[in-house]
Chains A and B, each alone.
Chain A
Amino acid sequence: MQSDSGKQADQTKDRHILVALDRSENAKKAALYVADFLGGMPGFRVTLLSIVPEPSEDYFETGEQRKAWIEEESSGAEKLLRNYREMLIQSGFSEDKVRMKVDVKNCPSIADCILDDQKKLGCCTIVMGRRGISKKEEFLCGSTSSTVLHCGKNCAVWVIE
């Protein structure tokens, strides 16, 4: 049996992959890719991340409505990550190598929040899906995957389509 300090040493040596997920089909593809590509391989650990951006108070008539929205989104994100965690474990990751993080925060840009978590967690790679949006949509709304690709520093970015 491995000691706690031995486990910690393993965790330190592991390459830490951050998988940014939401409810989209492309996020699912990103999770499946990680399961398929890295499942069962030693030397990797994964954090499954879902960002719940705290919405502006302007969108709600009352603070209670806003709180209820955040709670509903957070619990939906937790459920989503639990499912993906189970999938990664089934693909060969050991339970202690797959962590989940639902990050509820003020988040003007989801991409900035993903990069912030990558930095805090010390992940060497970000994996995320891409919707393949139109030029017009990118113009009017921006693109999270493009922003992560352009602004990510000291990490690899895998964009799965």
Chain B
Amino acid sequence: MANKHDNIRKEEYTEEELRGMMLSWLPPSRVPESVRIITDTSNFHMVDFDDVVILGGRPYLIRHCEREGRFTIDEQPKFWVKRAIDLTDGSKKVIKMVFHEKFTTSVGGLTFKFFRSPKKEARILDLVRGHPKFMQGFSVKDTEGNIVRIIDYIPGSTIDNRIEAQAKGHKEYYYNHFPDIFSEFISLVEAIKFLHDNGEKHGDIRRDHIIYGSSEGMYRWIDFDYNYWHQENMFSYDIFGLGNVLIYLAGQGNVTAWHLKENAPSVLEKIGQDDMNIVFRHRVANLQKIYPYISDQLAFVLKHFSGGVDTFYSDTGEFLDNLYETQKDLI
């Protein structure tokens, strides 16, 4: 809906103007008595609740920090990622300020170097503009040249929350819910292929980086700011992430050796090292050993991510070809 602030874009606002704009979106009791206006976000720790950050000529009223499950990797608050209200139209945004994080981490005993890159996320936001399977937003430079990303907030829940809530038992889930979820998964893999075809990685493919937007009724990839120092195959880590998501979706959650030991010790006896995830050795990848009604074609795909694998998916195109075959069995 158009409103009186729609066309406002300017570099300077008075406190009075901003307080007036806030009254359009907040009850009077929530409008702060004084407003701190920020144009340089270099020190993101200073950007606080009720501040107004001016970016690209638009004023954004800062709300809370984002936390895990949505835009970050652990349970800590991420002070460089804030919820905000665009005071010109009242829309909810997620504002990601510049944080050049670098770290090495061990994945299955192998060391990876990761980088948090605002440039990468800004580039991908441009690339995926209008694409229904990616979060939407844009980047602007603040007065100090920091690349700040302004993301449309997606109200909803992560894919794993929805999967676990869908059915009481796996068999019911597999026959009644999984085919639809699998179709959604294919479209999400197609979206990753779109990135790869354009020379970009997602960089942090995890199930909690897939959000189901409750108002729009669709899944989207979020968070593209990670990059990793790849070796021969620049996309293999992304493909590994896709495999983990598929295993999770097919199993209605991760099935671990510990879970089997507690709940189905006789099934655990049938599971060998070759059936476990090639990297996360406590998770079962060959789920057909547990759920024998899983189709052979799906089991074939899942085994590509197991310790018993002989051939790997070297690109998302190969993976997708097998997913399309699998879909025929599920319909």
Contact = CB atoms under 8 A, between A and B. Distances in A.
Nearest to B237: A140
Given A58-B115, A137-B110, A142 B231 contact: yes
A58 B232 contact: no
B27 interface: no
Contacts, number: 65
A111 interface: yes
Contacts of A111: 232
Nearest to A145: B232
Interface string B99-121: 01000000111100101010110
A61 B100 contact: yes
Interface residues of A, number: 21
Contacts of B119: 57-58
A72 B20 CA distance: 55
B169 interface: no
B314 to A, nearest CB: 7
A56 to B, nearest CB: 6
A120 interface: no
Interface residues of B, number: 27
A28 to B, nearest CB: 19
A141 B279 contact: no
A79 to B, nearest CB: 23
Interface string A53-69: 00111110100000000
A140 B199 contact: no
A46 to B, nearest CB: 24
A110 B236 contact: no
B227 interface: yes
Contacts of B278: 135-136, 139
B309 interface: yes
A138 interface: yes
Interface string A28-66: 000000000000000000000000000111110100000
Contacts of B237: 140-141
B264 to A, nearest CB: 27
A59 B203 CA distance: 12
B60 to A, nearest CB: 24
19 contacts: A56-B117, A56-B120, A58-B120, A59-B113, A59-B227, A108-B199, A109-B233, A135-B278, A136-B278, A140-B107, A140-B108, A140-B236, A140-B279, A141-B231, A141-B232, A142-B231, A142-B236, A144-B231, A144-B232
Given A58-B117, A136-B109, 19 more contacts: A55-B229, A56-B120, A57-B119, A58-B119, A58-B120, A58-B227, A59-B117, A61-B100, A108-B234, A109-B234, A135-B278, A135-B309, A136-B108, A139-B309, A139-B312, A140-B240, A141-B230, A142-B233, A144-B232
